[in-house]
């Protein structure tokens, strides 16, 4: 995919985002938050529908027939995403303590978060097995070193690498996938892009792209996927901004 076109759209978005009415921008952000939380938790097996997720997050109403864990998963995801936005707003560069904090928020009332796994894990259907023991610890420490070294990458490539490499290592026993998608958006927003959501319906393409990186080190398919999602988000905002700029026709 031609990233230069998306980078140009991102510049236009940056230049015109303040022209959007506050209510319009807030409604877009709120709708994305619900959609993103639903998709990210659903990818991991959460059975709440989009509407049920909206009711839990916006109205604070528990859904009958759903487990407490599933309720906590969506509530916690919202908290973790808000924390990500706060950190980005303060200009904080992603580092280990922030990653652990994100995971701890995701796991609140479920299990103790922010602690790297000791057990081996196997990912069903993947051609790659995450590292175990001392090798896992060495790789996650190297991940943070590389985060600093890769800061000069454009936002899309940095976000794609951060997500793909983190989930390849799979440092947490549970929640590594949700954490990695939050890290991806941390990097996108930190570079002035919009956050994106991988639809649960696209999980096969998503898993295949991640597996291609984990097994062969090929990141291209995943970069293309994130770029397409980002362009879709940018187009939505740019279209709305264009509507706001149109002169009112006199009768």
Question: Could you report the per-residue pLDDT of 55-105, keeping only the tens digit for each?
Answer: 999 988 888 889 999 999 999 999 999 999 999 999 999 999 999 999 999
- The full set of domain ranges for the chain reads 3-117+124-240
- Across the range 112-127, mean pLDDT stands at 87
Torsion, Cα 18 21 22 26, to 10 degrees, reads: -100
- Does the pLDDT at position 20 exceed 90? no
E strand intervals along 84-239: none
Alpha carbons within 13 angstroms on the beta-carbon side of residue 146 total 14
Alpha carbons within 13 angstroms on the beta-carbon side of residue 69 total 10
Mean pLDDT of all residues in the chain?
92
Query: According to the model, what pLDDT value does residue 3 have?
Result: 86
- Does the pLDDT at position 112 exceed 50? yes
Q: Is 170 part of the annotated catalytic residue set? A: yes
Determine the Cα angle at 214 with ends 213 and 220, to 5°: 5
75/146 Cα distance (integer angstroms) = 31
Catalytic residue (one of 38, 103, 163, 170): 170
pTM of the model: 0.93
Tokens 């790789």 locate to 139
Looking at residue 59, what DSSP letter applies? I
- Does the pLDDT at position 246 exceed 50? no
Torsion, Cα 101 57 88 196, to 10 degrees, reads: 110
Query: According to the model, what pLDDT value does residue 245 have?
Result: 52
Query: According to the model, what pLDDT value does residue 175 have?
Result: 96
Q: Which of 19-23, 73-77, 167-171, 245-249 has the lowest mean pLDDT?
A: 245-249
- Across the range 121-126, mean pLDDT stands at 78
Please give the class, per CATH, of domain 3-117+124-240. mainly alpha
């Amino acid at each position: 995919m031609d990233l230069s076109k998306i980078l140009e759209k991102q510049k236009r978005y940056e230049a015109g985002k303040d022209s959007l009415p506050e209510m319009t921008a807030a409604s877009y952000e709120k709708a994305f938050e619900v959609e993103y939380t639903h998709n990210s938790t659903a990818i991991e097996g959460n059975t709440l529908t989009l509407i049920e997720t909206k009711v839990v997050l916006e109205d604070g109403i528990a859904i009958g027939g759903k487990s407490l864990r599933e309720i906590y998963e969506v509530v916690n995801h919202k908290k973790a995403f808000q924390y990500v936005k706060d950190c980005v707003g303060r200009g904080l560069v992603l580092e280990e303590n922030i990653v652990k904090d994100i995971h701890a928020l995701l796991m609140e009332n479920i299990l103790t978060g922010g602690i790297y796994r000791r057990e081996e894990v196997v990912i069903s259907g993947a051609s790659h097995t995450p590292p175990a023991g001392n090798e896992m610890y060495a790789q996650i420490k190297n991940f943070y070193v590389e985060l600093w070294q890769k800061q000069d990458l454009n936002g899309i490539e940095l976000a794609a690498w951060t997500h793909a490499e983190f989930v390849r290592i799979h440092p947490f026993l549970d929640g590594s996938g949700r954490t990695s998608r939050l890290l991806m958006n941390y990097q996108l927003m930190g570079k002035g892009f919009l956050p994106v959501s991988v639809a649960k319906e696209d999980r096969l393409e998503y898993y295949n792209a991640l597996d291609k990186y984990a097994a062969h080190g090929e990141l291209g398919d995943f970069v293309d996927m994130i770029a397409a999602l980002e362009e879709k988000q940018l187009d939505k905002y740019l279209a709305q901004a264009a509507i706001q700029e149109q002169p009112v026709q006199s009768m």
